[in-house]
Structure 1
Amino acid sequence: MLIRTRVLLPLLALALAGCAQQVGGTATAADDPPPSAERPVSSTSAVPSADPDPGTGGTIDIAALPGTWRGSYTCAQGATGLELEISEPDGDTVPAIFRFFPVDGGAPTPSGSFSTRGSEANGQFVFRQEAWIEQPEGYVMVDLGVASVENSTMTGRVGGPSCGDFSVTKQG
């Protein structure tokens, strides 16, 4: 029993030590309150976002992605506006800016933005978080797993705390 305790306690301390860190963003304090309607968590998670697992089997044509895409996504704070400003491909990756904002009839969500980079790995196209541009207090970045791009509409799953699906439509 003493040997098991000596092994488990250091492992538990090591596991808890990384809980307040964020990859590619600004760290949030470990004593921050959990997400709620008053203090939502929006846009990365403490580890590279839980894989958004969009369930895609097809390949995304990255040459067709550049432009402004607008729509919404859902996380702990409720429905939130989403704008993806996707730049020209850089090799086999696609840089983008993820902007979030309140939507009519939705929760009073602050606005914020961060950089992302989209790429395909293991048959899945994902926009992965990189760095904050404008971070509202208490918010974290998220990843976007793209399930499909059809008829100027991109859909998929948001990889973050208490998040669901997203849908955006290419503008212009």
Structure 2
Amino acid sequence: MSRGPAFVALFAVSALLGGCGQVVSGHPAPADTVAVGTTAPPTTGAGADQVSLRVLAGRWTGAYRCGQGETALTLTIDPPDGTIASAVFDFGPSPVNPAVPHGSFAMGVGYVHDVLTFTQRRWITRPTTYSMVDLVAVEVSPVRLAGTVTGQGCTTFTVTRDRG
């Protein structure tokens, strides 16, 4: 079966927008690398019940877990520009893991197949040996976000909205 140029162009665009690239966490990437994350499969029941990105804009604090152990996390989500928002993933020491260095990177935020997805973009402050990760929020409310951290040796994250 022969596929025409329109199919090839459509496939290329969908692959580009779908984030088919992947960075393996745990191994440093060159400082000038802009990584593309992966996305999670769709979940059921999101659709019309999505919390809008405008409502999610603000500062969120909590923790995530990867190979280095529990790590403090602050997510700052900017107001959206259409269906996409920007965010900063800021991490550092936690009370139970004070040896973790500070670092931060920019992210894109949006719904992919009705799943709130945070996708790595570029480093702001990079500690040696750390890699960027993506987040897939399986619990989304105006006051709490929780889900999985996409990266080798990573598991979960939980953040709550800062008051004020």
TM over 0.5: yes
- Trace 1:1-172 onto structure 2 (pairs within 5 A): 22=23, 27-28=29-30, 48-49=36-37, 51=39, 55=43, 57-58=45-46, 59-106=50-97, 108-150=99-141, 152-172=143-163
Counterpart Cα distance in 2 of 1:157 and 1:136: 22
Please list the CA deviations of residues 103-141 of structure 1 after superposition, one character each: whole Å capped at 9, or x if unmatched. Answer: 012251101000001011222210100000000000000
Shift of 1:55: 4.7
| Identity rate, percent | 36
Counterpart Cα distance in 1 of 2:86 and 2:93: 24
Larger Cα Rg: Structure 1 or Structure 2?
Answer: 1
Counterpart Cα distance in 2 of 1:107 and 1:129: 24
Count matched residues.
134
Please list the CA deviations of residues 91-111 of structure 1 after superposition, one character each: whole Å capped at 9, or x if unmatched. Answer: 100110000001012251101
- Contact 2:36/2:121, CA 8 A, preserved across alignment: no
Q: Equivalent residue of 2:154, what SS?
A: coil
Q: Alignment RMSD, CA only?
A: 2.6
Shift of 1:22: 4.7
Shift of 1:54: 8.6
> Could you list the runs of 5+ residues in structure 2 that have no partner in the other structure?
1-21
Normalising by the residue count of structure 1, what TM-score does the alignment of the two structures yield?
0.69
Q: Equivalent residue of 1:64, what SS?
A: helix
> Could you list the runs of 5+ residues in structure 1 that have no partner in the other structure?
1-20, 30-45
Please list the CA deviations of residues 131-161 of structure 1 after superposition, one character each: whole Å capped at 9, or x if unmatched. Answer: 0000000000000101122351111111111
